[in-house]
Chains A and B, each alone.
Chain A
Amino acid sequence: MLKKRLYLISLGILLLLLIPFLVSGFWVRLVTQIFMFAALASALNIIAGFTGYAAFGNMIFFGLGAYTTAILMTKVHLPFIVAFPAAGMMSILLAILLGSLLLRLRGHYFALGSLGAMEAFRQIVDLWTDLTGGTQGITIPSFPGKPFVVNTFFYFAMLAMVVLIVYAVSRLDKNRLGYAFKAIRADEEAAGVMGIDTTRYKIISWSLSALFTGLVGSVYAYWFSYIDPPTVFNVMWVVNMFVIILIGGMGTVFGPLVGAVILETVSELVWSRFINLHLGILGTIIILAVLFMPKGILHLNWKGLVVHFRPGKGEAA
């Protein structure tokens, strides 16, 4: 049984390593995009799924990471290898600053507060034309090489981000820090009584989420080699991340991965043919996910599903 599992995992890893060499550029870019959303949703999962704080403004760190990278590479002419960690550091700093203000709020108030912070930040980026290029955006020197080399590089860069973040989250599932997050999610009063400094751990949680989101933003900026405020501060992306987490399973290690694969594949292959219905279908999926699998696909009780659809027994477990 264990041998069979090991065999399957090895096969999966081999397949992931070979994809860029087996399929066309379109598919490689699609899979890279799936990786990006898996990474972003996993990072959001740390604060939203594990700690229970719905950070609707999390794109603020994606934008900050992207702009830090872009500005350092164009204005200061630093290489990506320097701009990348700087993007992460900036995100942590902003999370600590915003967190000490906003994490006093709970529930919807925090969700709205973080969203407001993101919009305010976007306005600053819009108006600070000298530094950010304002609404014109910034063009970043692109990765040198033929399309195949570029596609392969960013495929592995995003794959590395996914592996890094999912590894971090898997550690959180079983370590002291993660236990503190889950205790806060369950009941902040009880967590405090158990000796947990809730304010401190909430800020740590958001900083971790911010770090990973900012790093992904940095890779994105280099990958697309052009960024502007409407794209990197796009609130629809956060909605997408929440849908991914909902589909996969809030507060689970692999939920965001599964959710990203499902949502992004469906999105790219089916919705691109129904451009006008795109948002309607997204909305329908959200409603169905919340109604029929509130804990996500990883927690879905397939036998229970039959019971759900029986009239009069529609109580969601």
Chain B
Amino acid sequence: MSEVVLKGSRVTRCFGALRAVWNVDFEVKQGEILGIIGPNGAGKTTLLSLINGTLPLTDGEIFFKNEKISGLKPFKIAERGISRTFQIVKPFPGMTVLENVSIGALFGKDKIKDARLAREQTRHILSRVGLEGKENLRVENLNISERKRLELARALAMDPELLLLDEVMAGLNTTEVESIMELIQELNRQGRTILIIEHVMKAIMGVSHRILVLHHGEKIAEGSPEAISRDDRVISAYLGERYAKMRGRAHVEG
């Protein structure tokens, strides 16, 4: 439980003068679910992109299992056992649902050579995300909720050690959110480490062991979900400083 799998030091990414992610240190332990929250534009998605190499770092370093991964191409990072989902889903059109998912097994760390074998091995993943019966449907015909789940299925097909989830629950209904939450916890019990960005507060607070809060690209708090929900800096980032002060006063008086 205690071994650190992912470590970032002074992780920084600027877009021109904008500090999208600024000097963020973080550690993710083996078998942990770390939630990342923060208001819109806080740099959450940018941080994931820096971890899996789709964006180069401006400064700082990232290590996976004590090896430096910052500076590697995304496919190299994927081969080491890190997979991610995109907030804006990116299905591969012109292929069926099952074919899309099998790409994970073909090119992830397992590198299965035979496409038919990869399709058979990944078939069961579809039922885990509730896409059973849709194997041979073309991905163009999926609705947004199904596309979200396809995104997750594709990441899972890579059999990752570290899974980066970027708002997989957005656009899903309550039942679907609950089933994805169960799935995340089940994946975690299998020993997968998970980094999750989510706007559905109930979901992320319920599923994460630890929460990291970003605001304007900087880390403003880190701790257990209970501690985070009481943290004044977090509350002011989300609800404004006036609210935080009022609440603080009420807290002292009461």
A, B in one complex: yes
Residues of A within 8 A of B (CB): 174-176, 179-180, 182-183, 185-187, 189-198, 251
A residues near B107, Cβ cutoff 8 Å: 180, 194-196
Contact check, B90 vs A187: say whether CB atoms are below 8 A apart: yes
Across the A-B interface, give the 4 residue pairs with the lowest CB-CB distance, nearest first.
A195-B107, A192-B74, A195-B78, A190-B90
A residues near B74, Cβ cutoff 8 Å: 189, 192-193
Q: Which residue of B lies closest to A187 (CB)?
A: B90
Contact check, A194 vs B108: say whether CB atoms are below 8 A apart: yes
- Measured CA separation A189–B53 after assembly (Å): 10
Interface size class of B (residues with CB under 8 A): 20 to 34
Query: Contacts A176-B115, A195-B75, A196-B75: A186 and B90 contacting too (C-beta < 8 A)?
Result: yes
Contact check, B95 vs A179: say whether CB atoms are below 8 A apart: yes
Contact check, B106 vs A179: say whether CB atoms are below 8 A apart: yes
B residues near A179, Cβ cutoff 8 Å: 95, 99, 102-103, 106, 115
Most B Cβ at <10 Å: residue of A182, A193, A196: A193
- Between-chain CB contacts (< 8 Å), 23 pairs: A175-B115, A176-B113, A179-B99, A180-B107, A185-B92, A186-B90, A186-B92, A186-B94, A189-B90, A190-B86, A190-B90, A190-B92, A192-B53, A192-B54, A192-B75, A193-B83, A193-B86, A194-B75, A194-B83, A195-B104, A195-B108, A195-B111, A197-B73
Query: Contacts A179-B102, A179-B103, A180-B107: A195 and B93 contacting too (C-beta < 8 A)?
Result: no
Of residues 47 through 77 on chain B, the ones whose CB sits less than 8 Å from some CB of chain A are 52-54, 73-75
Of A176, A182, A192, A193, which contacts B95 at CB under 8 A? A182
Residue B149 lies at the interface, judged by CB distance under 8 Å to chain A: no
CB distance from A190 to the nearest CB of B (A): 4
B residues near A175, Cβ cutoff 8 Å: 115
Query: Contacts A190-B86, A194-B158: A176 and B78 contacting too (C-beta < 8 A)?
Result: no
Residue B44 lies at the interface, judged by CB distance under 8 Å to chain A: no
